[in-house]
Amino acid sequence: MAIIEMRGVTKRYERGGQTLTVLDRLDLDVPQGDFVALMGPSGSGKSTILNLVGGLDSSDEGRITVAGNEVSSMSRGQLAEWRSRHIGFVFQAFNLVPVLTALENVLLPLQLQPLSRAERRKQAEFALSIVGLTDRMHHRPKQLSGGQEQRVAIARAIASDPDIILADEPTGDLDRDSANAIMDLLRRLNVELKKTLVVVTHDEMAAQRAQRTLHLDKGRLLDRGTAPPATAAAAAAR
């Protein structure tokens, strides 16, 4: 069953008096529990897909259905409430609030949840334990390494127990060892917590953690990314 469906999706931007077609009648299915890596040159539409799936932007044409909801038909207020329940975002630049502790950063998206203060704290602490940062929860971002900051960002993304995690170049600002650790963590979230992951990356080694890789160019899929049985089995064993 597809948790993400995109049908005939086109997205255009106006820049410098020119119309740029970033996505061109794109069709995409992501089954529930899948782990997909999106690869392609800059400007190929990878990040645009994440923004559309997460309801941060709207398409010019086509239909986008995510977790049983047609995203393109929702109001801004409906999207905010829907995102808080279904979508977790992880960004390349971490996007942590520097004056807040790790725990306080993870608590932020939970403010939209109908939970008591004690329940929000319990969920935030649990998310930090999953990423291995229980002993750093009272540290501010400047007191953490890059890899630790990204783990805080992942804890923030999973704190509300979303169905889908969207990660945009999550290893782009990290050294190789930290990048490998982050991708291993994302793989664990997919295998152990059954989260659906869509990750944008330029890193071939990072993409190897995914169940399948989709390549885009000029707003179109070059392939469907169906892994052969041996590759899928190897990925599941990681």
pLDDT of 64-122, one tens digit each?
A: 999 999 998 888 888 988 988 899 999 988 999 999 999 999 999 898 788 899 999 99
Tokens for 35? 């782990």
Interatomic CA distance for residues 39 and 173, integer angstroms: 17
Tokens for 152? 């805080």
Interatomic CA distance for residues 148 and 154, integer angstroms: 10
Query: How would you write 107-165 as a 3-class SS string?
Result: HHHHHHCCCCHHHHHHHHHHHHHHCCCHHHCCCCHHHCCHHHHHHHHHHHHHCCCCCEE
> Span 140-148, mean pLDDT?
96
> Span 180-208, mean pLDDT?
94
Query: Where is 30: in which H helix or E strand?
Result: strand 18-31
CATH topology for the 2-224 domain: Rossmann fold (3.40.50)
pTM: 0.88
Identity (one letter) of the amino acid at 164?
I
Please state the domain extents for the chain: 2-224
